[in-house]
Structure 1
């Protein structure tokens, strides 16, 4: 499909083989991440998404915290694959920590009581869209990334280490860096099992009619 946005989305892939040689500067990377989050949609324009961007030693410190936390719960004899995975994240140029500000959520619940039960759900949706926007923007700039979830295992120590506001809730982590390996083929399930379209001429019928 010859659509720039779809082409950018298609380019977004999970990259575990990360390096530190970013194709753009750290300043440009930061600006890209901030713009993607700023422009991502949120319910009631709540702008509840927050981010902490770590580079170099700061990023590696985060993954050291994650490794130490995992060592407490993963049996020593089974830890080697976990260590390899954590090392691959730490090998990148940086990490984005995605948060949702719970004070914003609570404020909306109080202001719009009718929708109170929905605001936590909508906050999670906003976070997902922010993560997707950042991931797509990074991949469009040839920066590799993956999405990880070591919360809530690391939450307390990370909050103390980087002075995170108490109302910020950690939702995901995105290690990023240079693409050190090519991507493999991505498999897709059959469209017929995934989509239903009503009230318009289907593509197959259109071809027959033509």
Structure 2
């Protein structure tokens, strides 16, 4: 039995691909969720290296129009048409996208300061970035938005830098697409808990 709203939100978070260009919460509330995640998500040595760009409405659609054009030029018209084109249109149909980046400067500063751990800081930064992604994915779900996490780097990196004045040094990691759900999540098959957890001391 779930004992907290947090665990219920964890269970409720799923990949939802059928979304519409609507949101049950205001833009200000969405921005508040993003601000809360960026302020309170943990990071190694409190490095705070995650960066976020929030794209709403027309800016969101501009991103997916540009991404579609780049992808079409990369793989060719014939390969693009069909399932790939429909998938990209599905993302465009959403209300917004959250772009997650890493700023390498704080990570490199830690590597210089603690050379014994230098090879680990980029790995730990990836962990922190993923925590930001998970917090916002779960929070959007809890507020009635469907979302899915996408990865179109490095294909779209230069386009993002040019279109939204993003520092070229920032490294794009993922794109969280969201909108009002128009369909349910796919059925999820879970592997056995017993095969995935070892417990000692009970």
Q: Tell me the CA shift for residue 20 of structure 1.
A: 1.8
Which runs of 5 or more structure 2 residues have no equivalent in the other structure?
Answer: none
Q: Tell me the CA shift for residue 43 of structure 1.
A: 0.5
CA displacement, residues 44-90 of structure 1 (integer Å, 9 cap, x when unaligned)? 01111110000111111111121112112324323221111111111
2 CA distance for matches of 1:147 and 1:28?
Answer: 20
Cα pair 1:33 1:137 within 8 Å, conserved: no
2 CA distance for matches of 1:38 and 1:81?
Answer: 38
Report the counterpart of residue 44 of structure 1 in structure 2: 45
Superposition RMSD on alpha carbons, in Å? Answer: 1.1
1:181 alignment partner, one of 177, 180, 183? 183
2:90 alignment partner, one of 88, 91, 110? 88
Cα pair 2:151 2:173 within 8 Å, conserved: yes
Q: Tell me the CA shift for residue 165 of structure 1.
A: 1.1
2 CA distance for matches of 1:189 and 1:75?
Answer: 38
Query: TM-score normalized by structure 1?
Result: 0.92
Asked if 1:10 is matched to 2:11, the reply is yes
Report the counterpart of residue 117 of structure 2 in structure 1: 115
Report the counterpart of residue 194 of structure 1 in structure 2: 196
Query: TM-score normalized by structure 2?
Result: 0.95
Which runs of 5 or more structure 1 residues have no equivalent in the other structure?
Answer: 201-210
CA displacement, residues 18-64 of structure 1 (integer Å, 9 cap, x when unaligned)? 11221100111111122123211110011111100001111111111
Q: Kindly tell me the number of residue pairs found equivalent between the two proteins.
A: 200
2 CA distance for matches of 1:175 and 1:54?
Answer: 10
2:101 alignment partner, one of 99, 112, 118? 99
Report the counterpart of residue 74 of structure 1 in structure 2: 75
Cα pair 1:37 1:133 within 8 Å, conserved: no
